[in-house]
Amino acid sequence: MKFRPLSRLDRVLVEIEHALGTAFDPQPACSRPSPALGIDEAPLEDDQRRHAGGLMRVNHVGEVCAQALYSGQAAVARDPTVRRQLLEAAAEETDHLAWCGERLHELGDRPSLLNPLWYGGAYAIGAMAGLLSDRLSLGFVVETERQVEAHLEGHLGKLP
């Protein structure tokens, strides 16, 4: 069976579907098991649970934004190899998004109500970086990942 190439309208609709799924799907499908499987949960007081839930909500927003950044960059990438790499990175981040969602649920918390806004802003930033150049876009990815690592290290130090 032969498929026709996607039109611009098709690509826009695919992007909209991805954005809606990322911003609103409470449990996206993931391709890998959670790294938390088999780890017993430590008992938490109510205030500790709320604090951990708040930190996890921030992490979940970060994963929503990662999806948007990579999608925005991929949408305007000039080099098909760069586009593919960005889409692969976004797919990997889907697992992180799902794991954060699982943990939010375990903590009795919810995702941010502003996820659609966060997604839109991050998508625009990613697209702007990508429009400048593929090389700058990839550099942006590297620096973003560095910032995320530092952010997560800070969160680890705050968890009960």
pLDDT tens sequence across 112-126: 999 999 999 999 999
134, 73 contact by CB (below 8 A)? no
pTM of the predicted model, to two decimals? 0.85
Q: Compute the average pLDDT of residues 125-133.
A: 93
Predicted confidence (pLDDT) at residue 156 exceeds the cutoff of 90: no
Confidence (pLDDT) at 26: 67
- With a CB cutoff of 8 Å and minimum separation 6, the contacts of 138 are 82, 85
Q: Which two tokens stand for residue 4?
A: 């026709």
63, 93 contact by CB (below 8 A)? yes
Alpha helices in the chain (DSSP H): 8-24, 46-76, 80-106, 115-132, 134-158
Q: Which amino acid is at 98?
A: A
pLDDT tens sequence across 34-92: 888 888 888 899 999 999 999 999 999 999 999 899 999 999 999 999 999 998 888 88
Sign of CA dihedral 16, 18, 21, 22: negative
DSSP state at residue 78: S
Q: How far apart are CA 130 and CA 122, in angstroms?
A: 12
Predicted confidence (pLDDT) at residue 23 exceeds the cutoff of 80: no
More confident residue, 140 or 78: 78
Q: Which residue do the tokens 């990839």 mark?
A: 138
Confidence (pLDDT) at 101: 92
